[in-house]
Structure 1
Amino acid sequence: MALHRVNTDDYQQQLDQKVARLRDAYAPYTALEPEVFPSPPSHYRLRAEFKMWQEGGRVDYAMYKQGEYKKPFVIQEFTVGSERINALMPPLLEAINASETLRKRLFCTEFLTTLSGDALITLIYHKPLDAVWEAEARALQKKLGVPILGRSRKQKVVLERDYVIEKLDIHGRTYQYKQVEGSFTQPNGEICRAMIGWAKSCCKDQAADLLELYCGNGNFTIPLAENFRQVLATEISKVSVNAAQENIAANGVENLAIVRLSSEEFTQAIDKVRPFRRLKDIDLDSYDFSTVLVDPPRAGLDADTCAMIARFPRILYISCNPETQLENLAALTKTHRIARFAIFDQFPYTDHTESGVLLVKR
Structure 2
Amino acid sequence: MSTGTTYPERYEALLSDKAERLKQLFSDFQIPEPEVFTSAPENFRMRAEFRVWHEGDQTHYIMFDQETREKVQVTEFPIGSTRINELMRPVMDALCQQEILRRKLFQVEFLTTQAGEAIVSLLYHKQLSEEWEAAARPLRDQFGIEIIGRARKQKIVLDRDYVTEELNVCGRLWRYNQVENSFTQPNAGINEKMLSWAQEVTSGSASEEKSDLVELYCGNGNFTCILAQNFDQVLATEISKSSVNSAHKNFEMNAVDNVTIARMSSEEFTQALNKERPFRRLAHVDLDSYNFSTIFVDPPRAGLDPATEALVQRFDRIVYVSCNPVTLKENLETLSQTHRIEKLALFDQFPYTDHIESGVLLTRK
Which range, TM-score by smaller chain?
over 0.9
| Pairing 1:16–2:16 present | yes
1:125-136 matches, within 5 Å, as 125-136=124-135
Q: CA deviation at 1:93?
A: 1.0
Give the superposed CA RMSD: 1.1
Give a deviation string over 1:187-241, Cα, whole Å, max 9, x none.
Answer: 0001111000000000113130000000000000001101101000000000000
2:198 is matched with 199
2:338 is matched with 335
Q: TM-score by structure 2 length?
A: 0.97
1:170-249 matches, within 5 Å, as 170-206=169-205, 207=208, 208-249=211-252
- Counterpart AA for 1:229: D
Q: CA deviation at 1:99?
A: 1.1
Q: TM-score by structure 1 length?
A: 0.98
- Counterpart AA for 1:167: E
Q: CA deviation at 1:90?
A: 1.4
1:30 is matched with 30
Cα distance in 2 between the residues matched to 1:357 and 1:30:
12
| Pairing 1:159–2:162 present | no
- Counterpart AA for 2:159: E
Which of 254, 257, 262 is matched with 2:257 structurally?
A: 254
- Counterpart AA for 2:15: L
Long gaps (5+) in structure 2: none
Give a deviation string over 1:301-346, Cα, whole Å, max 9, x none.
Answer: 0000001110100000000001100000000000000000000111
Cα distance in 2 between the residues matched to 1:171 and 1:38:
16
Cα distance in 1 between the residues matched to 2:202 and 2:31:
22
Q: Aligned to 1:226, what secondary structure does the other structure show?
A: helix
Cα distance in 2 between the residues matched to 1:166 and 1:102:
28
Q: Aligned to 2:214, what secondary structure does the other structure show?
A: strand
Deviating beyond 6 angstroms after TM superposition, the runs of 4 or more aligned structure 1 residues are none
- Counterpart AA for 1:187: P
Q: CA deviation at 1:2?
A: 5.2
Maintained 8 Å contact 1:53/1:72: no
Q: CA deviation at 1:72?
A: 1.4
Maintained 8 Å contact 2:235/2:261: yes
Maintained 8 Å contact 1:343/1:356: yes
Q: Aligned to 1:205, what secondary structure does the other structure show?
A: helix
Maintained 8 Å contact 2:323/2:357: yes
Q: Aligned to 2:342, what secondary structure does the other structure show?
A: strand
Long gaps (5+) in structure 1: none
Identity %: 53
- Counterpart AA for 1:116: A
Maintained 8 Å contact 2:2/2:64: no
Q: CA deviation at 1:77?
A: 1.2
Cα distance in 2 between the residues matched to 1:108 and 1:141:
18
Taking structure 1 as reference, are residues 256 and 352 closer, same or farther at Cα in structure 2, changes over 3 Å only? same
Across the two proteins, how many residue pairs are aligned to each other? 361
Maintained 8 Å contact 1:113/1:119: yes
Which of 321, 324, 335 is matched with 2:324 structurally?
A: 321
Which deviates further from its counterpart, 324-333 or 115-124?
115-124
